[in-house]
Amino acid sequence: MVRVQGRQGATRVYWPLALPEDDPAELNRARKLAALVEEAFGAYLARHWDKARKLYDRLPADWPFVQLFRNRCRVFLENPPSRDWDGVYTLPKK
């Protein structure tokens, strides 16, 4: 989830894993990966940084958000966010 500077609400960002017309095996693979993404993001939101990082390690490394969240988990392990952190990343610029 991201928040644009100056805005209150957050926007959830999605990454398409498959297309409806893909073959059943690819759709099944996408469903399994989507469940893993949700589990990793849930651990991230719950502040379980090490668990989240390990789950993100199981996702394809070439997905742009995977490295991003792995890095955030590493940083938060060393320097946790404030108690009022809502899990949303605020973009520094519009």
pLDDT in tens, 27-55: 999 999 999 999 999 999 999 999 999 99
Q: Quick one: average pLDDT of 50-70?
A: 94
36 burial type by CB count under 10 A (0-12 exposed, 13-18 middle, 19+ buried): middle
Q: Quick one: average pLDDT of 59-70?
A: 91
Answer whether 0.85 is exceeded by the pTM: no
Mean pLDDT of the chain: 88
Are the C-beta atoms of 73 and 52 separated by less than 8 Å? yes
Residues 6+ apart with CB under 8 A from 85: none
94 against 36, higher pLDDT:
36
Name the E strands within the chain: 2-4, 89-91
How is the chain split into domains, by residue range?
2-91
Are the C-beta atoms of 70 and 57 separated by less than 8 Å? yes
